[in-house]
């Protein structure tokens, strides 16, 4: 406790001006920052109700869904994740979760906290789920809910063949939850066409929006399960039956929405709509392809093969004899450039390099290839920085 009554001497806020090329957050578009500086209105003001309608319609476009139950959850991506799992999984339900990355483990943790029984479909880190293995696990355990990670941030792997997974699950009357935190707005995602029941995401990755209002969409079948629960979810704040009263037609008070964050995601989603969702997917793939060519051109290896390489999050193998944390420190200190080290089973083995949203620009891709090559060479790695930059520029 302070020993006198003097106020803390805290200066003006001056964070460094970084280029964010890690697993998130990504650089925020200037238009989104401007939207956040506009005046507040009340969370039940008629003008804000109109903004809520617009956000929901833009989210439907970005998710590629007609789901009525499509909202931004007040909180970070983990809040939309917990809203999805905590509402769909009732005490005594069984949830089938993957083992092929860090965020499958988080799914399991949340399902257990919701009172569910967790069973696993096994796949090694860095590999996608095998539809045959999923089908076998569904037949063996007959789960109520099946969750999978569409874009695994910890491994740089995108899950191919999603319709095969959802078809297998629905053959067993199992509802499907998809983690789309690192894919929404940057990697092909078609919620309705792929028959996904629930998808959750975060705004700070491919949408290039500050965290605080996180996308969530539920099918009619999923919402029917939520509304017919025998007991309420353990979280009052994330209870979708209550949030429906605020985001649905009634617009009844539930909590004070993060108004500025809703402004932000509205503008971020407007940028998606202006670019066109398929054009946006193509831009991410092209620019990440240049980044990937640059990594391989300097002699580095990608963690994921082409068949399930994730353009929005590039996992690059750390070369022998190099401390990954030291490399990241050099990039911050010398270039004001952020990339990240590995998580979980891949800690110390990969760099995680994002290519997302407003960060996915040619100048940023060239910067990260050149800077990483320079940092690795300065630390004694056997790399060819000039070859990497040349390969990157060839694709661009």
How would you write the pLDDT of the chain (396 residues) with one tens digit per residue?
A: 556 678 899 999 999 999 999 999 999 999 999 999 999 999 989 999 999 999 999 999 999 999 999 999 999 999 999 999 999 999 999 999 999 999 999 999 999 999 999 999 999 999 999 999 999 999 999 999 999 999 999 999 999 999 999 999 999 999 999 999 999 999 999 999 999 999 999 999 999 999 999 999 999 999 999 999 999 999 999 999 999 889 988 888 999 999 999 999 999 999 999 999 999 999 999 999 999 999 999 999 999 999 999 999 999 999 999 999 999 999 999 999 999 999 999 999 999 999 999 999 999 999 999 999 999 999 999 999 999 999 999 999
- Helices of type H across the chain: 30-36, 46-63, 77-88, 102-113, 131-141, 162-171, 220-227, 240-247, 259-275, 277-297, 324-335, 362-378, 385-395
| Residues 109, 146 contacting (CB under 8 angstroms) | no
- The position carrying tokens 């990755």 is 205
Does 3.90.1150.10 match the CATH number of domain 277-395?
yes
Q: Do domains 30-274 and 277-395 have the same CATH topology?
A: no
What pLDDT score was predicted for residue 163?
Answer: 98
What pLDDT score was predicted for residue 4?
Answer: 67
The C-alpha atoms of residue 131 and residue 140 are separated, in whole angstroms, by 14
Contacts (Cβ under 8 Å, ≥6 apart) of 203: 72, 77, 209, 210, 211, 212, 213, 214, 215, 261, 264, 265, 268
The DSSP result for 342-365, as a single string, is --GGGTTTEEEEE--GGG--HHHH
Q: 30-274: which CATH topology?
A: 3.40.640
pTM score, whole prediction = 0.96
What pLDDT score was predicted for residue 1?
Answer: 55
What pLDDT score was predicted for residue 249?
Answer: 85
| Residues 367, 27 contacting (CB under 8 angstroms) | no
What pLDDT score was predicted for residue 193?
Answer: 98
Which DSSP symbol is given to 236? S
What pLDDT score was predicted for residue 250?
Answer: 85
Radius of gyration of the chain (CA): 22
- The position carrying tokens 């620019």 is 287
219: left (phi over 0), alpha (psi -120 to 50) or beta: beta
What pLDDT score was predicted for residue 3?
Answer: 61
- Cis before 25? omega within 30: yes
What pLDDT score was predicted for residue 6?
Answer: 86
Q: Where are the domains of the chain?
A: 30-274, 277-395
Share in percent of the chain as helix, strand, coil (round to 5):
45, 15, 40
């Amino acid at each position: 406790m302070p020993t006198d009554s003097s106020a803390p001497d805290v200066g003006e806020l001056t964070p460094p001006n970084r280029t964010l090329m890690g697993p998130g957050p990504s650089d925020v578009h200037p238009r989104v920052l401007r939207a956040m500086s506009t005046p507040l209105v009340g969370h039940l003001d008629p003008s804000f109700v109109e903004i809520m309608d617009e956000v929901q319609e833009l989210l439907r476009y970005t998710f590629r869904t007609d789901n009525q139950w499509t909202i931004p959850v007040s909180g970070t991506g983990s809040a939309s994740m917990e809203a999805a799992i905590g509402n769909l999984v009732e005490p005594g339900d069984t949830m089938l979760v993957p083992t092929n990355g860090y965020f499958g483990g988080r799914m399991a943790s949340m399902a257990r906290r919701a009172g569910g029984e967790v069973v696993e479909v096994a796949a090694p880190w860095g590999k996608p789920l095998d539809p045959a293995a999923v089908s076998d696990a569904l037949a063996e355990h007959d789960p109520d809910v099946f969750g999978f990670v569409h874009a695994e941030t910890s491994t740089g792997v995108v899950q191919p063949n999603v319709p095969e997974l959802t078809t297998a699950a629905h053959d067993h009357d199992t509802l499907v939850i998809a983690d789309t935190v690192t894919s929404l707005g940057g990697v092909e995602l078609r919620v309705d066409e792929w028959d996904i029941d629930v998808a959750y995401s975060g705004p700070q990755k491919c949408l290039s929006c500050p965290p605080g209002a996180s996308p969530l969409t539920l099918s009619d079948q999923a919402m029917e399960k939520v509304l017919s629960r025998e007991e309420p979810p353990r979280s009052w704040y994330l209870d979708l039956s209550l949030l429906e009263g605020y985001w649905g037609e009634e617009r009844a008070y539930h909590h004070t929405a993060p108004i500025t964050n809703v402004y932000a995601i509205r503008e971020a989603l407007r940028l998606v709509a202006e670019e066109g969702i398929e054009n946006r997917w193509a831009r991410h793939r092209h620019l990440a392809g240049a980044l990937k060519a640059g990594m391989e051109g300097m002699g580095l290896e990608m963690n994921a093969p082409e068949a399930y390489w994730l353009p929005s999050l590039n996992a690059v193998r750390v070369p022998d004899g190099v401390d990954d944390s030291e490399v990241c420190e050099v990039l911050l200190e010398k270039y004001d450039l952020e990339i990240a080290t590995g998580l979980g089973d891949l800690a110390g083995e990969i760099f995680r390099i994002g290519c997302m949203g407003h960060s996915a620009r040619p100048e940023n891709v060239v910067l990260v290839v050149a800077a990483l090559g320079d940092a690795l060479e300065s630390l004694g790695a056997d790399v060819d920085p000039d070859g990497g930059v040349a390969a990157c520029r060839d694709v661009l």
